[in-house]
């Protein structure tokens, strides 16, 4: 299983591409809870949101791909949950299998393609919360330069989103997704060391993914995303 890769600095090509775009600095006021957003490559939905982070689940069809896009004000953590994906930047392409992930600093362009015949499920953590922070430069479906999908693409679906503390577990493929409150790091010992965790509270590591084996300390009462395989 690969280590998580952290891409922390925009490349010159990222900066050049962003400079050539007209970026609309929009604020999102839509509550996406239990809404399925239909995409030309599949669909996505909000799994969990608090005032600091938003977690989204993407279902990408075989050989379909997201746009090559970046977020001007948001950091992005990305984890393959099921299937297999190619996630590329303007410089390099990364192959990800379940429970492998990437972290992108803001203003870094990236694109994800499902290469498994059954498609792929991908989890993304966006920090801070603003679904309309989006800049597209290339798109298979003609959406380059366009804003996020409008309400014509929204479908109400019950029980899509998790709601802490009452509904906090979902399983996709062999990957278990949990939102837990942790008072001591020892409470995470029941998970495998290669599990992926992310602190969802205000913290210097907020929204960033890391292997459980690399988490050395945690604040009492922290809300944590845990991705594990049974």
Predicted confidence (pLDDT) per residue in 151-188, tens digit? 999 999 999 999 989 889 999 999 999 999 999 999 99
Going from N- to C-terminal start, the domains of the chain cover 5-156, 169-229
Spatial CB neighbours of 172, under 8 Å, sequence gap ≥ 6: 57, 81, 82, 121
Under 8 Å between Cβ of 79 and 99: yes
What number is the average pLDDT over the span 133-155? 96
- Mean of all residue pLDDT scores within the chain: 96
Does the pTM surpass 0.85? The reply is yes
CA atoms of 99 and 33, how far apart (whole Å): 25
The pLDDT of residue 1 is: 76
What CATH number was assigned to the domain covering residues 5-156?
A: 2.60.120.10
What number is the average pLDDT over the span 107-117? 98
The pLDDT of residue 192 is: 95
Spatial CB neighbours of 14, under 8 Å, sequence gap ≥ 6: 70, 89, 90, 107, 108, 109
The pLDDT of residue 227 is: 98
């Amino acid at each position: 299983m690969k280590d998580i890769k952290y891409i922390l600095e925009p490349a010159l090509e990222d900066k050049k591409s962003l400079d050539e775009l007209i970026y609309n600095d929009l604020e999102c006021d839509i509550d996406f809870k239990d809404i399925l957003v239909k995409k030309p490559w599949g669909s996505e939905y909000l799994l969990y949101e608090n005032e600091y982070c938003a977690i989204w689940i993407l279902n990408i069809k075989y050989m379909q791909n997201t746009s090559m896009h970046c977020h001007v004000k948001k950091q992005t953590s990305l984890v393959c949950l099921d299937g297999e994906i190619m996630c590329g930047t303007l410089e390099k392409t990364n192959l990800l299998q379940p429970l492998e992930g990437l972290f992108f600093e803001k203003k870094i362009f990236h694109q994800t393609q499902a290469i498994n015949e059954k498609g792929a499920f991908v989890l993304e953590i966006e920090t801070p919360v603003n679904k309309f922070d989006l800049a597209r430069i290339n798109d298979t479906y003609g959406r380059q330069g366009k804003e996020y999908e409008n309400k014509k693409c929204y479908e109400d679906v019950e029980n899509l989103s998790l709601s802490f503390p009452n509904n906090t577990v979902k399983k996709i493929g062999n990957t278990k997704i949990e939102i837990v409150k942790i008072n001591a790091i020892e409470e995470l010992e029941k998970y495998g060391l290669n599990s992926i965790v992310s602190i969802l509270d205000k913290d210097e590591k907020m929204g960033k993914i890391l292997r459980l084996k690399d988490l050395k300390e945690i604040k009492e009462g922290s809300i944590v995303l845990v991705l594990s395989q049974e």
